[in-house]
Amino acid sequence: MKIDGKDPQRICMIGFGEAARAFVSGWALADRVSAYDIKLRDASQASAMADACRSAGVDGHAEPGAALRDASLVFCLVTADQVLDATSAAAPHLSPGAFWFDGNSCAPGTKRAAARLVAEAGGNYVDVAIMAPVHPKLHETPLLLSGEAAEQGSSLLAELGMHPEMTGGGVGSASAIKMIRSVMIKGFEALTAECLLAARRAGVEDRVMASLQSSDPGFDWPARTAYNLDRMMVHGSRRAAEMREVAATLRELSLPDRMAAATATWEEEIGSLKLETGTASFVERADRILAARQAAADDRPTDATPALSPDAPDRSVS
């Protein structure tokens, strides 16, 4: 399928983070892919990002115009808090009729605002929800699509070996599913941190874990606990941005965002520690987090207001 006579496999990635790199790796079409990432304009991050682009065989650019030249398919994969800025910067450089696949984790209202920017630039906007981690399935990770251009967009993605599923409805329908699901999935991560960090500090983690396992013997509590802590340690800051969009989704539905807001706080705190996950032991991961929080508290000026003191009740997530 061609768009305005152009090969649809000329692809531009807006943001070249984990998801973009996973898709490119799976496609094996790197010579047809360009990328625009603002990290290429940041002196402290440009070298690492340039290396990532070169390693993937992707033509990296610090400005959107060069990256988008002749691209018929555009994948916007940035952090949730950068969606509208990235779309505003890139949309004016779209080729007429280009397809814009917005795979960002953000609220339906944010998606609709981005869709308007793409439509004004003459592009075809598709709301995409990435419904699982991109590893190990890479470009075959399950996707949900919605919006007026979703049906044609689905065909284009299928040509790339991807696995889209139509949800029906307008822009925002696919994202609503992901956002509302994240209340549970990321909320479980935050509950894991709050429960098991407290258990480890109290020295009762073995008894707590045994009790949880007894209550739900079909669930591998130690493995899932270790996994949840890993996700927060590696991706907490990005997940915090997503959870703020989840909170916005709930407010759009005239519902309270108490759990989503609390989850964002935990994700941000643990992600900001920038820790290596170490072994697969949930105890070791809990110890790394507790030690880093203690070190942060020890480094805090004595006259500073203690936020998240490691020895006091943590009321930021109540």
Last residue of a domain, one of 118, 135, 170: 170
Residue 166 and residue 273 share a domain: no
Q: What is the pLDDT of residue 7?
A: 53
Does residue 5 lie in a domain region? no
State residue 185's pLDDT score.
Answer: 96
- Note whether 300 and 190 are same-domain residues: yes
Q: At 155, which helix (H) or strand (E)?
A: helix 150-159
Ranges of H-type helices in 203-220: 205-215
- 138 shares a domain with 68: yes
pLDDT at 303: 58
3-state secondary structure labels for all residues of 61-91: ECCHHHHHCCCCEEEECCCHHHHHHHHHHHH
**Claim to verify: residue 131 and residue 182 sit in the same structural domain:** no
- In the prediction, which pLDDT does 33 show? 97
Residues 277 and 192 in one domain: yes
Query: Is residue 3 situated within a structural domain?
Result: no
Residue 68 lies in a domain: yes
Q: Which of 151, 170, 189 is the last residue of a domain?
A: 170
Q: Are strands 142-146 and 124-130 parallel, antiparallel or unpaired?
A: antiparallel
Count structural domains, the chain. Answer: 2
Q: Does 23 lie in the same domain as 160?
A: yes
Q: What is the CATH number of the domain that holds 124?
A: 3.40.50.720
- What residue type is assigned to position 205 of the chain? E
Residue 191 lies in a domain: yes
Residues 223, 261 share a domain: yes
Kindly report the CATH number assigned to the domain that includes residue 207: 1.10.1040.10
State whether 15 and 150 are in the same domain.
yes
In a domain, 1, yes or no: no
The verdict on residue 47 lying in a domain is yes
- What is the model's pLDDT at position 179? 98
Of 170, 204, 236, which residue constitutes the final position of a domain?
170
157/194 same-domain check: no
Q: Is residue 6 part of a domain?
A: no
Is 258 part of a structural domain of the chain? Answer: yes
Mean per-residue pLDDT pooled into runs of 10, the chain (318 residues): 54 97 94 96 96 96 96 96 96 96 97 98 98 96 98 96 97 98 98 98 97 96 96 96 97 98 98 93 96 89 51 38
**Residue/partner pairs of 6-9 with CB below 8 Å, 24 or more apart:** 6/70, 6/72, 6/95, 7/32, 7/72, 8/72, 8/73, 8/99, 8/156, 8/159, 9/72, 9/73, 9/159, 9/160
Helix and strand counts by DSSP (H, E) for the chain: 11, 8
Residue 65 domain boundaries: 11-170
pTM beyond 0.85, yes or no: yes
- 149 and 191 co-located in one domain: no
Residues 166, 188, single domain; the answer is no
Is residue 143 located within the same domain as residue 183?
no
pLDDT at 309: 44
